[in-house]
Structure 1
Amino acid sequence: MLASMPIAASLGVGSIKAAMQTSFTVSHNGNGITIGNALYEQLQSVANSSIDIRTGVALKRLIDSRSPELAPLRFAIVYPYSSHNYQLRDWLSRAGIDSDKDVQIIVVPPVKMLDSLKLGGIDGYCVGEPWNSLAVEQGVGHMLVTGYEIWGSTPEKVFGVNSSWAEQNQATYLAIIRALEKACLWVDEANNQSELLNILSHPDYLNCTVEQLVYGFSAIKPKGQFDWPMKAYQRFSGPNINKPLPSYALWIMGQMHRWQQLGDIKSLNDVAEQVYRQDLYYQALGLPQEKGNTDWHLSIEDESTWLDSVASGKIRLHPDGILSGFDK
């Protein structure tokens, strides 16, 4: 599931409250913000440079110049409690765009986003691959920025389970984590990616051609006109990828608070520790607990200001995805 979903479910945010947890991160990266040709042409007319378009400055300029009688520009995301939603809103806000007032953000299933863009139902979207690259390849859109360029390398998909099930079936749960680690190592092996794409292209999965799926994988050089920045490729294996980071749970809760999705929480540390289970990751793989494993913990003083500090931009992510300290 999406990396934020176990947190949302555990807190009862947008769903029935049910304790969930993850002990394994499946992937990092893979998101992007893409807009349709019509909007891109409008941005070109008000931009001083391509940087203005990539940073959203031109979009802000265009929105300010539009007649109030016009319907707001419409952007799609895959789920309200997702990195797609938070990355899109963060990107818009950096350009001075109010994501609740200046644009309309709606939910569209990933497989329907490209058609919605073609038909003019939406002006742009934030989604994972291959839907950004396909828009570029088919000549119906322009990818402006990758999720990596917004937040750095961050968890995208995790293996989430019901916490009660995990407690009652721990041997099975730990075995699945070990199997997932082997699967992720297999996925990242260059020699296996052709077979992987053949599997993913099946009608029961993504129902795309292999050629449409090559984007976003570092081991396969795309043949089309768009090539992902090397650091922004999807990554599936390695301790820095697969280890569930409680610090990221804190970051996600900060984003939920920033966009008015979060209620009162007694202890951010407790939620992060209960949902993102580093201890079970180490146990499953037979790894020793790292020293300083609680370095991510917030002090009592910082717990009281953390959410507002994230919302106000005083806390950012480093390019490698590690939480930065307070901007004091």
Structure 2
Amino acid sequence: MSLSRRHAVTATAGLLAAAKSLSGAGVHAQGSTTPEVRKAIFGFIALTDAAPLIIAKEKGFFTKHGMPDVEVNRQASWGATRDNLVLGGGRGGIDGAHLLTPMAYLIHMGRVTQNSQPVPMAILARLNTNGQAISVAEKHKPLGARLDASPLRRVVNSESKFAMTFRGGTHDLWIRYWLAAGGIDPERDVSTIVVPPPQMVANMRVGTMDAFCVGDPWNAQLINQRLGYSALITGELWHNHPEKCLGMRGEFVQQNPRAAEALTAAVIEAARWCDIPANKQEMCEILARRAWFNVPVTDIIGRMRGEVDYGDGRTVTNPDITMKFWRDHASYPFRSHDLWFLTENQRWGILPENLETAPLIAQVNREDIWRAAAARAGVTNAETPSGTSRGRETFFDGKVFDPENPAAYLASLSIKKLSAA
């Protein structure tokens, strides 16, 4: 049996198991709302979009919803996060995580796990929209690359290093989109490499990289250390784009549906708290602590307030294009957004072009749990989206993604790498 065929068989078996394990709330749907367990173990990466998870712990929202023993543990990289999710909380790993949204699907399908073994996953909420940046080395500042990456074409080659945090993850997709829109093929014209978020600035300092895409505080820290500038913040690339998610092992959700709902309610309350302007200073002081990020508050607070210093003479104050945790339905896991992530992974050959996306999204995306959790957290109907799609999305270069016709979106992109495997 060929490798691709064997992978397809393994993945299919895993998806069938996932469909069973992630279907509905099961026998626990009736009766008590008391969580089945008091504890869950989450992982986080030192990025500001982990704030709802950290604040839910620090401000007692997990305890409020009957989960007083929740742990939120730092992870060294997204690869370590994946490995600990595969292990699971009962075997020394984690039950859930602050997670790059596409990772939930890649783990679920066994695309990034050892021996291609699928590990059923569930997306319970989005943790944020906007809030990432693409930063460029100081040596390239005179070229003036901003939203338009094309000025870099004069100096880059196949050895030029453009860093992101996980193959197929959000940062990978943002930097690829930006490069391709500027006529730079990320597969042929440059080298894309994986670097954990906390190591981005250190790698730029030693001169080994040309640019990187990551969340904060690392872009602001790069500028504060005069090592580079932000060409753009990703809210300019795609306004109100989805980013991280609250991902959990499907097994935990299936066995503990009331606990999954309680955990999601706590994170929803934390997201609302994080988006209150009066709470920004306290939030950033919490995140900056040694237990969490161990960075100066000044590396966090500006962009959390919507104040962006690009490091090239440009400054802007616009909270609408910077990180959101609750505003404009930032917490809701729109299925149309999951479809875009899958489509972009098809674009770059990470997922096969003929992938059946609808049943996959139905297995992983648990917007039903989000809605039950939102009601539990006291969210009004006015704050809850009426449907599971946000509709057509327009990008900075004029490209349009219509979730009703993703094939047309793919066809409109001149730079891509498709795969049938």
* Range class of TM-score, shorter chain: 0.7 to 0.9
Q: Which SS does the other structure have where 1:242 is aligned?
A: coil
Give the Cα–Cα distance (whole angstroms) in 1 for the partners of residues 219 and 319 of structure 2.
16
Give the Cα–Cα distance (whole angstroms) in 2 for the partners of residues 264 and 213 of structure 1.
39
Corresponding residue for residue 19 of structure 1: 120
Corresponding residue for residue 59 of structure 1: 152
Corresponding residue for residue 6 of structure 1: 104
In structure 2, relative to structure 1, the CA distance for the partners of 1:295 and 1:245 (3 Å cut) is closer
In structure 2, relative to structure 1, the CA distance for the partners of 1:195 and 1:220 (3 Å cut) is farther
TM-score (norm: length of structure 2): 0.64
Q: Which runs of 5+ in 1 are unaligned?
A: 44-49, 297-301, 316-328
CA deviation map 1:7-64 (0-9, x unaligned): 11112222241110112111111111111111223x2xxxxxx4x544012112334x
Asked if 1:230 corresponds to 2:319, the answer is yes
In structure 2, relative to structure 1, the CA distance for the partners of 1:303 and 1:229 (3 Å cut) is closer
Give the Cα–Cα distance (whole angstroms) in 2 for the partners of residues 304 and 27 of structure 1.
24
Equivalent runs, 1:161-310 vs 2, <5 Å? 161-218=248-305, 226-227=315-316, 229-238=318-327, 240-263=329-352, 267-286=356-375, 293=388, 306=406, 308-310=407-409
Q: Which SS does the other structure have where 1:230 is aligned?
A: coil
Which of 156, 160, 172 matches 1:85?
Answer: 172
CA deviation map 1:173-208 (0-9, x unaligned): 101111111111111122222222121112222110
1:295 positional shift = 8.8
Give the Cα–Cα distance (whole angstroms) in 2 for the partners of residues 59 and 220 of structure 1.
26
TM-score (norm: length of structure 1): 0.81
Asked if 1:105 corresponds to 2:198, the answer is no
Corresponding residue for residue 125 of structure 1: 212
Aligned length: 294
Asked if 1:36 corresponds to 2:137, the answer is yes
In structure 2, relative to structure 1, the CA distance for the partners of 1:290 and 1:190 (3 Å cut) is closer
Q: Which SS does the other structure have where 2:278 is aligned?
A: helix
1:88 positional shift = 0.4
Are the aligned partners of 2:124 and 2:369 in contact in 1 as well (CA < 8 Å)?
yes
Corresponding residue for residue 59 of structure 2: none
Q: Which SS does the other structure have where 2:330 is aligned?
A: helix
Give the Cα–Cα distance (whole angstroms) in 2 for the partners of residues 19 and 310 of structure 1.
28
Which of 229, 237, 243 matches 1:142?
Answer: 229
Q: Which SS does the other structure have where 1:232 is aligned?
A: coil
Q: Which has the higher contact order (CA 8 A, sep 6+)?
A: 1
The share of aligned pairs that are identical, in percent, is: 24
In structure 2, relative to structure 1, the CA distance for the partners of 1:24 and 1:303 (3 Å cut) is closer
Give the Cα–Cα distance (whole angstroms) in 2 for the partners of residues 17 and 38 of structure 1.
43
Corresponding residue for residue 312 of structure 1: 411
Q: Which SS does the other structure have where 1:216 is aligned?
A: helix
Which segments of structure 1 move beyond 6 Å, counting only runs of 4 or more?
Answer: 219-222, 287-290, 302-305
Amino acid at match of 1:19: P
Amino acid at match of 2:258: A
Q: Which runs of 5+ in 2 are unaligned?
A: 1-98, 392-401, 415-421
Which of 197, 200, 203 matches 1:116?
Answer: 203
CA deviation map 1:116-160 (0-9, x unaligned): 111101111011111112222222101101111112212211111
CA deviation map 1:105-124 (0-9, x unaligned): 11111111111111101111
Are the aligned partners of 2:289 and 2:295 in contact in 1 as well (CA < 8 Å)?
yes
Aligned-pair Cα RMSD in Å: 2.8
